[in-house]
Copies of this chain bind each other. A is one copy, B any other.
Amino acid sequence: MSITEKAKEILANSGYKVTNQRKRILEIILDNTHRHMSAEEIYEIVKDENLDVGLATVYRALELFEELNIIHKMNFGDGRSRYELKEEDHHHHHLVCTSCNEVFEVDEDLLDQLEEKVEKKYKFRITGHHLKFLGICENCHEQQRLGD
């Protein structure tokens, strides 16, 4: 079963109604996970498709999906929340370029040992984590070099 189908099944089985708006919003997130979209960006897409959807509905749908553990709200410091699909057993990290503000993904999780250490030492039951590296991406670094 594809991620898309799985997510829709979660929605259908949640007891909440499966509306066209929710279906479309979920699809957009699923199709653009790597883009870490904001509510406004998702809204722009549905609006361009001439669907009758309000921005408030987008926010309400995102809130619902988060509650159902389908998506995940993030903050990259640009003043708005961004969302991505929450894939079980697929933890990854983010590289945020402080020059062009692009966000790249590190497609592996290397924190297991660290978590264990922290859990023991601080008596804190860890259920998740966010690791964000700040720095300069290859592109920007290249351009800085050429600019010299």
In the complex, which residues of chain B have a beta carbon less than 8 angstroms from the beta carbon of A128? 133-135
Name the B residues within 8 Å of A137 (CB-CB): 123-124
Q: Are A130 and B132 in contact (CB under 8 A)?
A: yes
Q: Is A17 close to B, CB under 8 A?
A: no
Binds B, one of A42-50, A56-64, A113-121: A113-121
Shortest A104–chain B CB gap in Å is 7
Q: In the complex, A126 Cα to B122 Cα: how many Å?
A: 27
Within A89-140, which residues are at the interface with B (CB < 8 Å)?
Answer: 93, 95, 97-98, 104, 106, 110-111, 114-115, 117-118, 122-138
A20 at the binding interface (Cβ < 8 Å): no
Contact of A136 among B97, B98, B115, B124 (CB under 8 A): B124
Q: Flag if B127 contacts A115 (CB, 8 Å).
A: no
Q: A118-B95, A129-B133, A131-B131 are in contact. Are A138 and B110 (CB under 8 A)?
A: no
A75 within 8 A of B: yes
Identify 15 residue pairs between A and B in the complex whose beta-carbon atoms are under 8 Å apart, listed by A's number. Answer: A73-B77, A75-B77, A95-B126, A97-B124, A98-B127, A111-B131, A115-B133, A118-B133, A124-B135, A124-B136, A124-B138, A128-B135, A129-B134, A130-B132, A130-B134
